[in-house]
Homo-oligomer: A and B are copies of this chain.
Amino acid sequence: MRYISELHEGETISITYLCKNKQMLKTKAGKSYCSLALQDKTGILDAKIWEMSNAIENFEAMDFIHVDGQLTCFQGALQLNVRRIRRAQEGEYDPVDYIPTSKRDIKEMFGELLTYVNSIKNPYLSKLAKSFFVEDNEFQKAFMYHSAAKSVHHSFMGGLVEHTLGVTKLSDYLAMNYPFLNRDILVTAAMFHDIGKTVELSNFPENDYTDDGQLLGHIYIGTEMVGERIRSIPGFPHKLSAQLRHCILAHHGELEYGSPKKPATAEALALSFADNTDAKMQTVREVLENADEKQEWLGYNRFFESNIRRSEK
């Protein structure tokens, strides 16, 4: 397959892309046309259907479509003038080519996460963790193939498991080095802290905020998911439940970052540091990887409120 990042002006192409967006618009002169956003894992291509004809079959946004057309340059950017479109058949394309994906093996990361699930000694927390990560296939699948964000850090398939693993490992390190921490609460909270994102963001290839996500947010959603499951585990101690859910509610660390409570326990504090550290380390990694290797100063970054510099090797 030829990736969007490799296309040139003037080419005539016949390729399958994901149709991320489809809109009927009118020219100034009042003529209708159709504007599409085509996507693969390397980028997005603007396409126009100026004339509706038999060559344009039925399709919807989020379909994989096979397009024929010619590439021109409009206002400094590539534009595809579409001549033919048909829905692609399963088998004609590999969805993986259309979705940005973690560089690490997703199943391997999930496997590593399971070793943490299995390390929890408190029987109630252990049961809770297994009920999601081991026994709940639907959750497992959603969790493994989700991103941890729409854009910013970890916004690729597998991003959620990669970030969760990073936070869990760092939480485990903290539990070992600051022994007054309750490791079981901290590590369990780390594994669950972002599960609300499986609802806040839609699945790939869409990976966009859902209606529930925008109205309720992953912090509330994830805490409620855990609360509901706990109610199905007989004898789960009430205080343990409240403390675990507190860690999830408070993991953004500050009210102005969307946590309705500030961390009040040592574990909630530790989780908020682990989450922030992994998120920021990944953010700076993406800044460094996306810039030219020879560049020293990479430009102002609004997350870090600083111009970012690549260090000496």
Asked if B262 and A239 make an inter-chain contact with CB atoms under 8 angstroms apart, the answer reads: no
Which of B181, B259, B277, B288 is in CB contact (< 8 Å) with A260? B259
The complex places the Cα of A265 from the Cα of B304 at a distance, in Å, of 10
The complex places the Cα of A144 from the Cα of B19 at a distance, in Å, of 52
The complex places the Cα of A261 from the Cα of B257 at a distance, in Å, of 10
Residues on A close to B: CB < 8 A? 8-10, 27-30, 73, 76, 78, 166, 169-170, 173-174, 177-178, 180-182, 185, 211-212, 214-217, 219-220, 223-224, 227-228, 237-240, 242-243, 245-246, 249, 255-267, 269-270, 273, 276-277, 280-281, 284-285, 288-289, 296-297, 304-313
The complex places the Cα of A215 from the Cα of B270 at a distance, in Å, of 16
* Contacting residues, chain B, for A76 (C-beta < 8 A): 28
Asked if B266 and A73 make an inter-chain contact with CB atoms under 8 angstroms apart, the answer reads: no
Which of B174, B182, B217, B224 is in CB contact (< 8 Å) with A261? B217
* Contacting residues, chain B, for A273 (C-beta < 8 A): 273, 276-277, 280-281
Q: Which residue of B lies closest to A308 (CB)?
A: B264
A120 to chain B, nearest CB (A): 14
* Contacting residues, chain B, for A212 (C-beta < 8 A): 238, 242
Given contacts A28-B78, A224-B227, 8 further A-B contacts (CB under 8 A): A166-B177, A178-B281, A182-B312, A211-B309, A216-B245, A217-B260, A265-B308, A270-B281
Asked if A245 and B178 make an inter-chain contact with CB atoms under 8 angstroms apart, the answer reads: no
Which of B178, B215, B249, B277 is in CB contact (< 8 Å) with A285? B178
User: What are 11 A-B pairs at a CB distance below 8 A?
Assistant: A9-B29, A180-B285, A180-B288, A180-B289, A211-B296, A214-B307, A215-B242, A217-B249, A217-B261, A219-B260, A256-B256
Q: Which residue of B lies closest to A228 (CB)?
A: B228
* Contacting residues, chain B, for A174 (C-beta < 8 A): 277, 281
The complex places the Cα of A304 from the Cα of B73 at a distance, in Å, of 38
Question: What is the total number of copies of this protein in its complex?
Answer: 6
* Contacting residues, chain B, for A27 (C-beta < 8 A): 9
Name the prevailing secondary structure of the A interface residues: helix
The complex places the Cα of A311 from the Cα of B269 at a distance, in Å, of 12
* Contacting residues, chain B, for A30 (C-beta < 8 A): 8
Which of B9, B215, B262 is in CB contact (< 8 Å) with A243? B215
The complex places the Cα of A267 from the Cα of B261 at a distance, in Å, of 24
A206 to chain B, nearest CB (A): 14
Asked if B180 and A243 make an inter-chain contact with CB atoms under 8 angstroms apart, the answer reads: no
Asked if A239 and B177 make an inter-chain contact with CB atoms under 8 angstroms apart, the answer reads: no
Asked if A216 and B312 make an inter-chain contact with CB atoms under 8 angstroms apart, the answer reads: no
Asked if B277 and A215 make an inter-chain contact with CB atoms under 8 angstroms apart, the answer reads: no
The complex places the Cα of A264 from the Cα of B289 at a distance, in Å, of 15
Asked if B182 and A313 make an inter-chain contact with CB atoms under 8 angstroms apart, the answer reads: yes
The complex places the Cα of A307 from the Cα of B214 at a distance, in Å, of 8
Which of B10, B169, B180, B245 is in CB contact (< 8 Å) with A215? B245
* Contacting residues, chain B, for A215 (C-beta < 8 A): 242-243, 245-246, 249, 261, 264-265, 309
